[in-house]
Amino acid sequence: MNKTPDFGAVHTSAELLTIVRLMEEGAAERYRELAEAFETSCNLDTAAAFRELAEGEDRHAAEFPALAGPAPRVTPWGEEDPEIADPDAVHYLMHPWHVFELALRNEEKTLSFFEALAVQSPHAEVKAEAVRLAERERGHVDHVKRRMAELPVPPDDWDEDDDPPNWEAGD
């Protein structure tokens, strides 16, 4: 269920920065979970790519003040945090290039959110902070694009498996 973002829900830059830190921490956690899953399934190169993203998100989160009180109840983007990877976009045979392609989509969604917030927020302080955050996010998008360019593009048949996993219980 997609909900239109409520650009007026964040009233101060402090609220926005707290939300951004929580976004970054959530993304790091999701990427770590995916790294562990790919390590378990012995797709170690892809696991390493997810681990690299998790470490990057940890660094991004550390750029913002730690949460001093309760987390804001505000989720201006609706139910789908733009920074969090879509679990349906993950495939057990994916390559590291796919990991960064997924990260690029997430970073671009986050950039779009900040750009829209900078235009549509009714609060001048939040607009100004969103402009700064959008610029920061452009750097993240550029970084992910550079990482993708360093990696081999997978072959067209990358997801074909002659011996697919048996997900049936009790077989």
Alpha helices in the chain (DSSP H): 13-40, 44-62, 96-120, 124-150
Residue-averaged pLDDT of the chain: 86
% the chain with pLDDT above 90: 54
Contact, 75 vs 26, CB < 8 A?
no
pLDDT confidence of 80, banded at 50, 70, 90?
low
The pair phi, psi for residue 29, each rounded to 5°, is -65, -45
Residue 2 confidence (pLDDT) above 60: no
Residue 97 confidence (pLDDT) above 80: yes
- Looking at residue 142, its amino acid is D
In the chain, where the domains are located: 13-67+83-150
Output the pTM of the full model. 0.84
Say which CATH architecture domain 13-67+83-150 belongs to. Up-down Bundle (1.20)
- Quote the CA–CA distance of 3 and 152 in Å, as a whole number: 37
* pLDDT for position 92: 87
* Alpha-carbon torsion angle 55, 59, 61, 64, nearest 10: 170
* pLDDT for position 153: 95
